[in-house]
Structure 1
Amino acid sequence: MSEKAMQKKRGGRVLDFIERAGNRLPHPYILFLWLCLILAVISMLCSAAGVSVVNPTTGDTVTSNSLISKDGFVWLLENLLTNFQTFTPLGLVLAMQIAIGFAEKVGLLTTAMRRAILGVPLWCLTATVLFLGINGSIASEASIIVVPALAAAAFESVGMHPVAGLLAGYAATNAGFTACIIVAGTDVLLSGVTESAAQLIDPSMTVNATCNWYFMFVSVFTLTVAGVFVNKKFIVPRLGTYRAQGNEAGEAGLTERQGKALRAAGIFSVLFILAFALMVIPRGGILRGEDGSILNGPFIAGLVPILIFYFILVGVVYGVVAGTLKNSSDVPLFMAQALEGMTGYIVLVFVIAQFINMFSYTNLGMIIAVKSADALQAAGFTGIPLMLFFILLCCVVNLFMTSGSGKWFIFAPILVPMMMMLGYSPAFAQVIYRIGDSCTNAITPIYPYIPIAIGMAKKYDKEFGMGSLISMMLPYSIAFLLVWVVQMVVWVVFNLPLGPGVQVFL
């Protein structure tokens, strides 16, 4: 039996167990229905037992409310639709998806990735693949397919093992998915949930989509360095020498029209940035706040709408020049197509919105946060150990539940208030979750994109399978986790800003 076969055999039982356990989980919609039912029962028991706490902020006594009662039933009937209609993340996510999905439909994002990966010198090819892949969340999950495929072609074109490129792209787009140099859809989605959870403690609390921007901006570069190290020291030596079957770089090259369209999009991007710079940089800029600052002005508050405008307009410029937009009617058509894959999310949000608001109604979030914070403080389990505990918890849960937003909907009402009770900002609680949620994406056997990645790899290595992918993704996951933990500790020790106007501590 070959060494590769022995490795697969030794890891098979563990992988089979994880896959079986993950497959037994119900659909997220059904899962949240069960959570609503469990919550209702727990709320009834807590209410009957007279469970209560004192809000440390206001000094008021907070008692648990039962959902299985006359008042609870009436509340649910009166608020069922309102819970869904006022669910903050829904509108933000749909708007971002319209804009980014439109840019994807006209071909802009794919072409930009192709040009960036295939046009760099050999010495920085791995770093470029990782950098683009980590920033791939701009293009949502499309990057998980596009970046690894193009990276494999780029590596083969310069005589490097294509599977090494594919794995670097896959690790970057999954284990580093949450990091990005600009505010992306992930930031919008998570911040809305974080704000709802934070308001369980302080109803006036707001959480902006830029609250993790500085931390995630730096993460792009630290993870890129870590990924280059892993690729060079672990992946390439293990794969060995690759004997190319032919140069396929030409298949992924750009046409003359695509190149012209990409240049036009680049010129527009520069002009777009300059236009907003003129509204922000001058002391009297119209996007500055009343006090003259940028942080308290409409520029930061309106950054998400600005990004929406950008992706739509740059998509129009590219589409017109490239010929993918034939007439003005194609614009709303492509926008509608960008939302076709969101129907499942909208259905899921309906039951998630009920769970979040039911959790708020019961006051269990406040009760759990206060009692947990007291227990952790009494046990001396606070600070860095507490953060590491939650990061590792998210890493483990991610092996069985791949929906990042779904997990945050569950964790946020508990983690955010509890961290606030310990003096940490909601934005920092969100950082802790994002680290744990991302690192194990690449080694989750039930992840829907794993079969696609294996299929791509089999083009170059017929024996490549699940065990091969997991074993080669593990060094990336561990390296990213270690780098992120060190970076988090640095942020805590020096109380560095997580985003514009947002610190680690309250």
Structure 2
Amino acid sequence: MENERKKKGRGQSFLDTIEKLGNKLPDPIVLFMMIAGLILVASWIAGMLGVSVENPADGETIEAVNLLSGEGLVMILTEAISNFGAFPPLAMVLVVMIGIGIAEKTGYFEALMKRSLEITPTFLIIPMVVFVGIISNVAGDAGPVILPPIAAMIFIRLGLNPIGGIFMAYAATNGAFAANFILGMTDALAVAFTEPAAQLVNPDYTGNIAMNYYFIAVSAIFLMAIIYFVAKKISIPRLGKYDGPSVDEEPLSKKEKTSLMWANISALVVLVVIAVATLLPDGILRNAETGSILQESPLMDSAVFLITILFFVPGLVFGMLMKNIDGTKGFAKMLGDSMGTMGQYIVLVFFAAQMLAYFDWSNLGPILAVGGSDLLETINLTGIPLFIGFILVVALINLLIGSASAKWAILAPVFIPMFMFLGYDPAFTQMLYRIGDSVTNPIAPMMPFLPLIIMYAQRYQKDIKLGTVIANLLPYSIALLIAWSIFIIIWFLIGLPVGPNGPIYLPE
């Protein structure tokens, strides 16, 4: 027992050290400015040295680009506004905040969570938040935008630190990104690069979107337990009590319950309309040419806006029935107030967008990715050490390149053939890649959602810094890396296929 306390003490001490070191860093806005500057300098050095690698995907040479050249400086100046406007989460966040803002300002969220807590066993609430986070990746990037602030409000209702809810939800949506019960765009994107890479060895090879399904479906339950354990044993206790505004524990009035019922019915109506438009053979939310619900369909393209509507409608209904919307001016003020909290985030996004653009233009990401894959190939590992080595390399590369498809486009032509020559099926190699690509997402500085998480946390603790965020997300990444790696090794030793037509070994 004493050893256990010491071990826990050492672990907490390590996280405290990470937090202290991280908090000595400048404000995130200034930090992104500094990193952008370092990338420019690195691009100048790499460009002057003529650093280059061969792209295994197409055999073309990838050369480092000096962004401090005349041409580079012109691009920096002329593309700054485009970088900002094209930053993936920016429009998504602002649009979703319209729905969340109305639902929050009218009191719908508070009433919904209060009622949920009244009828749901407490021990099920936090696991359910984790589960929703894990399966939310089927809606693309909506999960890390929408769930963390909702989780924060749920934690307040439970008497817990809301920042712990933000971190837990972010870890669930990003750290378990490859796990799900529902096949989605990530599955389609993965096989799109796996299949041509495998055809370099076997021209007759065909993959399928579900070839990892058995493993990712079971992983969804397994990782829910892992994330819940880290939250309960490490993250939540470490953050301590929340000293913010007290939560009203008065039960819902009859009027509130009635208004909530009709608001929920309106949300159900929205869901039914979406379902009808999706499930009917000629549904307008299906792909008009293929009939697909998931691949290049209006449903997936409009997922964020549909979720916004799903928040907006019941929030508006609740507010109207409770008569807490003061006419059109009050309605407009609610919308404005919800956007008023986004000012610092918008400024931060501007500099984060420039940083990511510079890294992309410089070609430093692909150069580092190919270098890492070459190192793993040179070491010439086999069996379980090879699997672990591959997962670790991908996890490290993921800290530098956020796009899963961009990484796999580079790595698949290297590792799919290499693993096939060792007798492993591409479906198994793809699953190893997806594990490495997921586990370090929560702490990846190149993830465009990290600034958003900082902003969410600063709502409850104004002086929170990047060090605190990373220190509290790091246990999730470490636990996911270790647990998920062990899980796939056990799966490998048992010899189960990872999905339909997705064996571990190549057919003889």
Distance 1:216 1:257, change over 3 A: farther
Runs of 5+ unmatched residues, structure 2: 134-143, 178-184, 197-211, 238-245, 413-429, 446-453, 462-470, 501-508
Matched residue, 1:126: 123
The 1-side partners of 2:305 and 2:316 are apart by: 17
User: Alpha-carbon deviation of 1:263?
Assistant: 0.4
Distance 1:437 1:371, change over 3 A: closer
Q: With the length of structure 1 as denominator, give the TM-score of the two structures.
A: 0.65
1:250-399 paired onto structure 2 within 5 Å = 251-289=249-287, 290-296=289-295, 297-380=297-380, 383-388=387-392
Letter in 2 for 1:40: L
Q: With the length of structure 2 as denominator, give the TM-score of the two structures.
A: 0.65
- The question of whether the paired residues in 2 share the 8 Å contact of 1:129 and 1:151 is answered with no
The 1-side partners of 2:443 and 2:217 are apart by: 17
The 2-side partners of 1:478 and 1:363 are apart by: 29
Q: Aligned with 1:47: secondary structure?
A: helix
List per-residue Cα deviations over 1:218-250 (Å, max 9, x = no partner): 777545555777899x79xx9xxxxxxxxx998
Match of 2:400 among 404, 411, 425: 411
User: Alpha-carbon deviation of 1:103?
Assistant: 1.4
Q: Aligned with 1:62: secondary structure?
A: strand
Matched residue, 1:443: none
Q: Report the more deviating stretch, 142-151 or 350-359.
A: 142-151
The 2-side partners of 1:219 and 1:74 are apart by: 47
Letter in 2 for 1:276: I
Is residue 177 of structure 1 aligned with residue 170 of structure 2? yes
Runs of 5+ unmatched residues, structure 1: 153-165, 185-190, 203-211, 239-247, 395-407, 439-445, 454-469, 498-506
Matched residue, 2:467: none
User: Alpha-carbon deviation of 1:50?
Assistant: 1.2
User: Alpha-carbon deviation of 1:294?
Assistant: 1.7
Identity across matched positions, percent = 28
- The question of whether the paired residues in 2 share the 8 Å contact of 1:54 and 1:62 is answered with yes
List per-residue Cα deviations over 1:302-334 (Å, max 9, x = no partner): 222211222111211111112222323333322
The 1-side partners of 2:459 and 2:331 are apart by: 33
User: Alpha-carbon deviation of 1:489?
Assistant: 6.9
Is residue 36 of structure 1 aligned with residue 36 of structure 2? yes
The 1-side partners of 2:247 and 2:85 are apart by: 48
Q: Aligned with 1:353: secondary structure?
A: helix
1:102-113 paired onto structure 2 within 5 Å = 102-113=102-113
- The question of whether the paired residues in 2 share the 8 Å contact of 1:97 and 1:338 is answered with yes
Distance 1:75 1:474, change over 3 A: closer
The 1-side partners of 2:102 and 2:20 are apart by: 37
- The question of whether the paired residues in 2 share the 8 Å contact of 1:43 and 1:66 is answered with yes
- The question of whether the paired residues in 2 share the 8 Å contact of 1:147 and 1:170 is answered with no
Distance 1:106 1:356, change over 3 A: same
Letter in 1 for 2:252: L
The 2-side partners of 1:14 and 1:484 are apart by: 22
1:430-449 paired onto structure 2 within 5 Å = 431-434=438-441
Larger RCO (CA under 8 A, 6+ residues apart): 2
Q: Aligned with 2:53: secondary structure?
A: strand
Distance 1:434 1:117, change over 3 A: farther
The 1-side partners of 2:15 and 2:373 are apart by: 36
Q: Aligned with 1:329: secondary structure?
A: helix
